[in-house]
Amino acid sequence: MRTIHGSKISLVVLAIVLLWLKTYIAYKTSFEIKIENWRQEFILFINPLSFLMFIFGFSMFLKENNQRHYIVFSSFIISSVLFANVVFYRFFNDFLTLPVLFQTSNMSDLGSSVNQLLNWSDLWYFSDFIFLFFLLKSKPKFISFRQYSKVERRVFMLLAIAIAFFNLGWAEAERPELLTRTFDREMLVKNIGTYNYHIYDVFLQSKSSAQRALADGGELVDIENYNRVNYKEPSDEMFGIAKEKNVILISLESTQSFVINRTVNGEVITPFLNEFIKESYYFDHFYHQTGQGKTSDSEFIVENSLYPLSRGAVFFTHSGNEYRATPEILNENGYFTASLHANNKSFWNRDIMYDSIGYQRFYSLSDYEVNEENSIGWGLKDEEFFQQSIQYLKEMPKPFYTKFITLTNHFPFELGEEDSYIQPYTSSSKTLNNYFPTVRYQDEVLKNFIQSLKDEGLYEDSIIILYGDHYGISENHNKAMSEYLGEEVTPFVSTQLQRVPFIIHIPGQTGETISTVSGQIDIKPTILHLLGVDTKEDIEFGRDLFSQDTMDFTVLRDGSFITKDHIYTREICYDKATGEPTAELNVCEPYIEKTKKELEYSDSIIYGDLLRFYGEQIEDSHESK
C-alpha cells in the first residue's frame, strides 16, 4: 500500500506514526523500563506498531466519512489508555490491569492524591488526537482521504501480522517463557507493548474467571501436602502465652522501616516507636508483600496467610470466595472480631470482603464524627480516629480481636502546621520531603493511643501488634531517596526498602529484636499460636516467627525473594554482604522454584475458590486415618 497517494499522505499512516512515536517517547520519559542491550531497545521501539496497524487498519474497510471519525475516535481512546497508565505508574510504579479498572468505586475517595499526579503538561499525551481533529476540520490538501482497494487492505493487514509475529518471536528469544511471567508487568510491556499487554490481560482475566467454574477439591491435595511438609511446630515457650488476651492490630499506613531509629534535619522521626520497640518483639527484616491492592492486599495477606494476586485486588475480584481467615477462626474460639477504619465502608470493597473473612463488626465512616476541622488529606486524622475508637474498645465483648487502619500518613502526605512536629526534608521530591512529617505525626498519635489504653485499663489485657501495610515512597523517587540514604538506590537497595515495621508487644514480656527474614504472610500463624490456636490443619503459606525451626525466607509479589544471605530480584541474585551480584549463581536456584510454587499454589486457591472444598478435604483426611 502506498503511504503517499500522489503527493498526499495517508491519514491512516499518519495516525499510526504519530501514536507510535508518542508511545515510544512515553516509554522513555514516563516509565522506568530497564533496557540492557540494543535488542531490547529495538523491541521496545517496535512493540506498539502491530497493534496500532490492526486498530487503524480497520478504518480502511469503512466508507470515507466513517473512516475519518473512526481514526480520530481511536486516537483518543488509545491516548487515554496510555495516559491512564502514565498516571497510575506515577504513584504505583506499575501498569494498569483489567481488575484495577473495575475498582472505579475507589476513585471518588482519592481526592487530592489524584490531583497531585496531574499537571497541565499532560495535555501532550493527547497532542496527536488534537492534531488529527484539526486536520479533519481543515482538510488540508496534503492529507489523503480515500477508499482503499482489497489488495491494499490485505497487504496492510498481512504486514501488521508479520510485524506482530516478528515482535513476539524476537521477544520470546530475548526473554524465554515470556507469557508465563504474568506477575512481571514491566517485562510484558517491554516486550509486547502497552496495548498488546492490555489485550493479553483481558485473556488472563477470562482465564481466571473460568478457573473457578472448572475447579474441584482434588486441586487442594498437592497444596495440603506442600503445607504439611513445610509446617513448623510452634515454640513451646510462646504457644498460648497470650491466650484470652485482647488483640489490637494496627496497620501503619505507608510506613517503611527506613524511618525507624533514623533522623531527618537532625530530628528523630519515630521517637515513640524507637522506645516501644525496646519493650516489644521487633522484627527488623520484615517485608510487605502487597501487589496492586496496596492496603487491601496487606489486609488480605495478614488475615489469610495467602499471597495477593499479581493483578488487581483480591478484595474486589474475589470477595465472594470462601476463606479461612483469622477473624473467622477467632470467632470460633470465643473472640469478638472487629475492624475499625474511618473511611467509606465500600472503599476497597471492605463491607463485602469483611463478611467473607468473618468480621462480626466493621466500624466505618458512619461510626465517627468527621468534619473539616478534624480531617485532612484522605479524611479523619489519626489522632481523632484513635480517640473516638477508645469508646468502642471499652464497649466490646472481651476478649476481642480488633484491627485499626490508619489514614493520615498517606500520599500525598498532607499535614496541617498544628500537627507538624518536624520540618519537611529538602530534596528533589516533594513526596519524600512531606513523608517524614506525616510519619512523625503518626508516631505521636500512637504514643497518645497507647497512653489512652493504659488510662482505660485495656493495656495490660491486650497484645498490641503494629505492622507497615506497604511502601510509602515508590521507585519513582529513587533519586531523592539516594540523597537521604547517602547511597545509590540499586535494585538490591530498592528491595531492602520494602521492609516495613512489625512489632508485637505482649504484657509482661521483655523486648527483643528478631532478625529472621519474614513477611506479612507470617502474621496469621504467629498471632494464632500466641493465642494458643493450632493451625496445623490450615492452608497457609506463612509460619510462626517464634518457632525454633523458622526458615529465613520471604517472597514478594513480583517474584523477588529474600533469604538470610541473598536477595533475588529482577532475575539477579545479590549477595547481602556486598550488595553485588553473587558469583555463585546456583545459590538462589532452589528458592526460585519454591517461590514460583508458592505463588502458583496461592493463585490457584484464589482463582479456583478452592477453600470452599476445605471442609470436605478435612473430613476425607480424618476418614482415611
Distance from the first to the final alpha carbon of the chain: 73
> Cα–Cα distances in Å, from 224 out to 203, 259, 305?
29, 39, 14
CB 3 within 8 A of CB 59: no
Name the catalytic one among 295, 438, 569, 582: 295
Rounded Cα distance between 382 and 362, Å, is 17
Measured CA to CA, the distance from residue 568 to residue 570 in angstroms comes to 7
Q: From CA 195, how far away is CA 580, in angstroms rounded?
A: 35
Give the pairing of strands 379-380 and 400-405: unpaired
Say whether 318 sits in a helix, a strand or coil: coil
Number of Cβ atoms within 10 Å of the Cβ of 6: 7
Distance, in Å, from the CA atom of 127 to the CA atom of 122, rounded to the nearest integer, reads: 9
Judge whether 295 counts as a catalytic residue: yes
Asked whether 88 and 26 are in contact (CB, 8 A), the reply is no
C-alpha cell belonging to residue 163: 510485524
Three cell numbers, residue 99: 481488575
Q: How many CB atoms lie within 10 A of CB 301?
A: 30
Which residues on neighbouring strands pair with residue 8, listed in sequence order?
A: 5
Half-sphere exposure of 123 (CA within 13 A, CB side): 4
Q: How many other CB atoms are there within 10 angstroms of residue 115's CB atom? A: 10
Q: Which residues are catalytic?
A: 295
